[in-house]
Amino acid sequence: MDIQTILVPYDFSEHADRACDWAIELAKKWNAKICLFQAIFEGTPVVYPGTAAPSDLPKWETRILEEARARLHDFAARRDTGSVTVETYVDLGPPFWAICQAVEKYQVDLIVMGSHGRTGLAHVFLGSVAERVVRHSSCPVLVVR
């Protein structure tokens, strides 16, 4: 098994933090790089009665992406990764789909991701990004709970 690139989907949760810790340790052992990745669900902003919609949706999306990139880059810069190379990426799309697409786009060998561990009705109504990624990813997935 030749693991050179590890994708870590990151949503700034404690679950993603744990997955990031695992990925860093695995990357050290395999001399791999980490792609820290955030998916921004594309869609139109919510507009409430009496408020104005953004006049230019492409500018709104650009601003959201720039802010997400800056936040993810700042997080990566503060994280102690030792000698592990960390690259940051932000893409638009539903999280599970964007993660699966990132595998091909960034030539990923392994995904290490957190799971919120929802069960019962919460799982039925909210779904599980991790479960969908496991079912649809073209590379192995390590889910950290």
The domain segmentation of the chain, as residue ranges, is 12-38+103-116+141-145
pLDDT tens track for 7-45: 999 999 999 999 999 999 999 999 999 999 999 986 655
What is residue 105's three-state secondary structure?
Answer: helix
Distance CA 16, CA 28 (A): 18
Distance CA 70, CA 74 (A): 6
Distance CA 71, CA 145 (A): 24
**At 8, phi and psi to the nearest 5?**
-120, 100
The confidence score (pLDDT) of residue 73 equals 95
Q: pTM of the predicted model, to two decimals?
A: 0.84
The confidence score (pLDDT) of residue 17 equals 94
What is residue 119's three-state secondary structure?
Answer: coil
- Per the CB < 8 A criterion, the answer to whether 108 and 41 are in contact is no
- Provide the 10 A C-beta neighbour count for residue 140: 13
- What residue type is assigned to position 68 of the chain? A
- Provide the 10 A C-beta neighbour count for residue 76: 17
